[in-house]
Structure 1
């Protein structure tokens, strides 16, 4: 039996964020065993904490969707760190996570956990045929799309900017095929949140919507900040259409690094047989 937590991320209210299943001791488990458990939980991600392989890290994590292993993902990073901190009460305000993508720095920022946004591996404009295809997937007229950019920090995100938050909430996508699409639109000035965000991607031939997405918000932040469409700090809202109330806190430091933060709360504790 192994200690287990289910942590809700990007919310301080249980069951309104994005959950991640965390096995606090994954030592001795094979990849097949980890994948089987992730498939069984049927959550967007399940993680397994392991001893680090380098003295520069506090812990190592392996991250699995129901179908594959990921080198990095945002909300599993914050949820895994939250669970690890429950076993390390004397930990400082800076934690280093080892994962498939390397070392990720996590900090406590304004009482929340935040990770440093990874660099983009692809950026820049999207060619016209793909923009037309994206409009078809989102069931939008081409004229409704304000801008489109590659904002890929690993999963393959392409970002679509719409006129406002209401336009984002109205989207009812079709088959995303092999596209990972993030959609964003501004809330009115003075609103508690600056942007409404939604994330769509394919799973087993169907299009799913992610409740709250750390990696997408990290890549969106780089684009929106660089183009002057928003200033930091700001808050993005995600998950509204799914009945969630995710809040992603975006900030920058004096060196220009972007930090993606959120509240985390444990919803389930216990043990699992693996």
Structure 2
């Protein structure tokens, strides 16, 4: 058993305990797959990451991302949180941007305004949701007929299915029956009404992953990346906006979306809550 540097962070929040927690094991090249999976189950967080030396010479580091149930090729809050931990532990990028290597390939990350942002990955699947499955989702979400205004597969490596609702209150009122939704990763979102909700954010988002240790994810970068690509491709959002997530869980996550030329950047803050070592 060996000791490894370890950090536990809060991502998409500058305030500890108000974002999405992430466990990060640094210098984990000697940790085998089974041990990684076991540690991720033990943390019982939505994701746990392991930082390794890159294989691709263009990358600054490589990351492996585990939920309590499986390994993911990509995820958003682990990307920002792992980068924060790597930089904080003395990581030095080769260029102006940080290049992360993960299951989907290379992901670009930039630093600005005391936060990090990654480029939204391209879709693996972007298409309307088939009618029979959408009806299953509607029933599992406890929604009335017609409550789902639109739905799309917005899969960028995680398999997200996103549904658009009419207003923020409808999103916050969702009480899913997870037993009906097993095997799906579902995002729900709606615009804020400035007259009712204020102007701190422009959209409310929730993310549900039935069957995981935490069936609702507090703040989700990959889902927000997929929603941003959908909204911006159809002119349903401005080039720069803020998404609120975690409200229903007592969190205050903020995801900053910005389109610059052909890139869509998904940004947020991160703060270290635990810094030490773990024996694996």
Scaled by the length of structure 2, the TM-score of the pair is 0.93
User: What is aligned with 2:139?
Assistant: 136
SS state at 2:229 partner: helix
* Distance (Å, rounded) in 1 between the aligned partners of 2:125 and 2:38: 32
Conserved in 1, the CA contact under 8 Å of 2:99 and 2:106? yes
Question: Alpha carbons of 1:199 and 1:4: their partners in 2 closer, same or farther (altered >3 Å)?
Answer: same
How many angstroms apart in 2 are the aligned matches of 1:259 and 1:166? 27
Which residue number in structure 2 is paired with residue 222 of structure 1?
229
CA distance, structure 2, for counterparts of residue 133 and residue 30 of structure 1: 38
Alignment partners' CA distance in 2, 1:178 and 1:68? 12
How far residue 162 of structure 1 moved from its aligned partner, in angstroms, is 0.6
**Partner in structure 1 of residue 76 of structure 2:** 74
Displacement of 1:127:
2.1
1:90: Cα distance to partner? 4.9
For the Cα contact (< 8 Å) 2:46–2:214, is it kept in 1?
no
The alpha-carbon deviation at position 93 of structure 1 amounts to: 4.1
Shift of 1:269: 0.5
Task: Extract unaligned runs of 5+ from structure 1.
Answer: none
Which whole-Å deviations, capped at 9, do the CAs of 1:113-138 have from their partners, x for residues lacking one? 01100111111212222221111011
Of 242, 257, 261, which aligns to 2:267?
Answer: 261
Q: Which residue of 2 aligns with 1:63?
A: 65
Return the match for 2:257 from 245, 250, 254. Answer: 250
Kindly provide the CA deviation profile for residues 92-151 of structure 1, in whole angstroms up to 9, marking residues without a partner as x.
Answer: 641001112111111113331011001111112122222211110110012111111111
Q: Who is 2:210 aligned against?
A: 202
CA distance in 1, matches of 2:100, 2:156: 17
- For residues 104 and 20 of structure 2, the distance between their equivalents in structure 1, rounded to whole angstroms, comes to 21
TM-score, structure 1 normalization: 0.95
What is the CA deviation profile of residues 207-246 of structure 1, one whole-angstrom value per residue up to 9, with x for unaligned ones?
8111001100000001111122111210000001111100
Q: In 2, distance between residues paired with 1:58 and 1:207?
A: 30
Change (3 A) 1:86 1:123: same
Equivalent pair of 1:96/1:104 in contact (CA under 8 Å): yes
Q: Which runs of 5 or more residues in structure 2 are unaligned?
A: none
Indicate conservation of the 8 Å contact 1:162/1:183, yes or no.
yes
Number of aligned residues? 272
* Matching residue within 47, 53, 62 for 2:55: 53
Partner Cα distance (1:71, 1:151) in 2 = 15
Q: Secondary structure at the match of 1:120?
A: coil
Q: Residues 260 and 160 of structure 1: is their aligned pair in 2 closer, same or farther, counting only changes over 3 Å?
A: same
Query: How many angstroms does 1:89 deviate by?
Result: 6.1
Cross-structure match for 1:18 = 20
SS at match of 2:146: helix
Look up the match of 1:114: 117
Distance of aligned partners of 1:107 and 1:135 in 2 relative to their CA distance in 1, 3 Å threshold: same
SS at match of 2:210: strand
For residue 209 of structure 2, give the secondary structure of its aligned residue in structure 1: strand
Deviation at 1:251, TM superposition (A): 0.5
Which position in structure 1 is the counterpart of 2:149? 146
Aligned-residue CA RMSD in angstroms? 1.5
